[in-house]
Structure 1
Amino acid sequence: MKNNYMKKLVVACVATFALIGLQINPAEAITQSPVVKGDSPWELGQQYGLDTDKIEQVNNQPNDWVYIEEMLQNPDQPKVKAIKSSKPAIETPEKKQEEPAVSISNEEKDLFARLVEAEAKGESYEGKVAVATVVLNRVDSPHFPNTVTAVIKQVVGNSYAFSPVQNGEIKKPASDESKRAVEEALTRNDRLNDCIYFYNPEIATDDWIRTREVVKTIGDHVFAK
């Protein structure tokens, strides 16, 4: 009699533990798996054999949807904390400010801008940059002086190479646009195909200058090599 009682007790315990295992395993699987949008608490309850109301209460969902990046909490287990990404944020490299290819003093830069103002007054900003580029191309050329100041003040024959130096127009202050044109030309983004001459064909009296190879026309000026 006593042996039969013990056997029944063991069988009952085994059945109880097996039932508990069946209830825990699905819950653990749910707890460890991320849930994507579209799985409602009712569908999850049907799939894993859990109570729908308890799923909604634990996950704090006011509606029937469980959203992405949220972990379904097992009603019988502590809540799982969200895992934050450990990947470092991608930093966008700062764009470096373009440095001048040619470095000149502020005094020389002012002289340069005054020449551009006198030679290209009334011309477009592009035209002013082109005039400044011609001066820099002359600095690079073996046929001209090797500094900005020397190029601007060069004497050819009995007069200066640039008429504003000859007639005194270069003494007038430069506009902000001419100053910016000089700054841009100093970066040497466009060397204007190495042009070393420019002139206004409407008023030019030198026939020799008209024999030079024309590269570009900007406004009233022709730029040549």
Structure 2
Amino acid sequence: MAGGRYILPDQIRLDEEVLSNIHQFIIDSDRNVIMFGELFERFKAELLDKTSITNRFYLQGVLRYKYEKEFYFAKDLLIKDINSEQGIKLSIAIELFIKEQGRIVTKDELKEEFLGLADFVLQAATANNSDILLWDSGKYLHSEQIIADNAIKERLKKILDDCTSQGSVSVRKLYDDIYVQENEFLINNNIEGHIALYSVLNFWFLD
């Protein structure tokens, strides 16, 4: 099945060398989770030139047909080792990549690493992983990169409690107060706006 249509295997024009190259890429990859969109984009020129595979859905169907006993196939990705402790889910693979960079990572960098990564897939993957912090529009940071000790956390918690003692408060107002009282914390962590601050406070103090 490809793109909602059923196609018999003998009706698809294939090239064993191209498929072998794709298979070898999967085997050699350090990642346990690989998206079909990434595979199609990486081998797009060869696939369009030498096969009848014109999109990731066709490619998914062909790979499943040939390697179903070797890999685990999900809707948008394949998993090399379903029992691995590493990224069974795409969110874990993305988290590991961000963590390895040790800095703020942009959406463009993630799309370069995970070719074919759609915005809605990225949004879902990051939203479901508490260690991936949205740092700004299209920017992410791993939670382990936050520079803070327990004393700073306690002071921030007090500011948060004081500001919300009479009810809800906007993150922009919190940012203004913290900018005055804990400016060094904001500078050390490159927190330049309310989005990053919300991510940090939500990560630390969400009940």
TM-score when scaled to structure 2? 0.23
Q: Whose helix fraction is larger, Structure 1's or Structure 2's?
A: 2
> Which gives a bigger RCO, structure 1 or 2 (Cα 8 Å, sep 6+)?
2
TM (norm. structure 1) is: 0.22
